Amino acid sequence: MLDESVTPAIIRVDLTSDDDEGICLEIPETRSFSISVEADESAEIQVFINGLPLDGDAV
């Protein structure tokens, strides 16, 4: 068990997506999903797509 007084709460979301080819690279794609977790309101959310961190400006 982690000591939350010295270890910040982090919610890590790992998403994977198949590689797009052809014209799909030129058209934005939308995919819907939902996640439900419980954490302290100060918890940091980290999102990774295919192993790469999502830029916070993209959210």
Amino acid at position 58, single letter: A
DSSP state letters, 24-51: GGGS-------------TT-EEEEEETT
Q: What is the pLDDT along the chain (59 residues), one digit of tens a residue?
A: 556 566 678 899 998 877 766 666 667 777 788 888 888 888 899 999 889 998 765 54
- Give the pTM: 0.59
Q: How far apart are CA 5 and CA 50, in angstroms?
A: 31
Per-residue buried b or exposed e for 43-57, using 16+ beta carbons within 10 Å of the residue's own CB: eeeebeeeeeeeeee
Query: Which pLDDT value is given to residue 42?
Result: 87
